[in-house]
Amino acid sequence: MELKDQAIIVTGGASGIGRETCLALARMGADIVVADFNAEGAAQVAEEVKALGVAAHSFKVDVSVAQEVEALVDFAVEKLGTLNGLFNNAGIGLVKPFLEMDPASYLKVIEVDQHSVYYGMYYGAKKMVELGSKGTFVNTASIYGSVASRGNFNYNAAKAAVIAMTRSGALELAEHGIRVVGIAPGYIDTPILGTDAGVKEQLAAQHMHKELIAPEKVASVAAYLFTDAAQAINGSTVPVDDGFLAFKE
């Protein structure tokens, strides 16, 4: 149990990659704060985590609001006694053609997908330095942080920023014993993709195995990045994309 007694916050923890990462971290011994705007879902995942024999608490948060993320960090330290890492994973999408993407549509995604990562890193790092604790931040970027996709100008911009913030954060926080890494998932088999079988098949075809990626496959990589075994990975964003960024047929 490589993460025994480590205290880690997971945002977007109520479902999908977040939920699976909460469970993966718990199996490695970490104590977890499951944070999500969906309070009921977060509470349910916290109970699943507790069943694995570690401490877990849930917290309702709007990650686009700085004060709420600060409160989340304070809550984690109050409940778990320390802080050793954050999985800045919460995110949304809002697909619109560029000429229909009014400022409100643009900013909504930027605030949730980009600004929240800054808030998590900023308030998390401030608290960890105050406590004298070391640890890791893992940030969820996307394949769309490296390539463009029609209708996703806002999402492309936010996820590219996450990749850049991961590099910059790693550089600035290394002296404090805080490592910062990113993951860039491909097309993940979660409800966010909708129910259209044809669309899912089209997306899956862009992976080497011609399948959507199960969220637990991404979670296993995210959880690994928190461990000492991943110490040499710092400032990088690791694709978990079944070859999407490596090839085009």
Contact 52, 29 (CB under 8 A): no
Of the residues 106, 119, 123, 155, which is catalytic? 155
Nearest to 245 by CA among 180, 171, 183: 183
Using the 8-state DSSP alphabet, how is residue 111 labeled?
Answer: I
Distance of alpha carbon 225 from alpha carbon 33, whole angstroms: 18
Q: Is 155 a catalytic residue?
A: yes
Distance of alpha carbon 35 from alpha carbon 31, whole angstroms: 13
| Parallel/antiparallel/unpaired status of strands 178-185 and 237-240 | parallel
Handedness of CA 82, 26, 225, 37 (dihedral sign): negative
Vertex 187 angle, CA 69 and 101, to 5°: 65
Residues annotated as catalytic are: 155
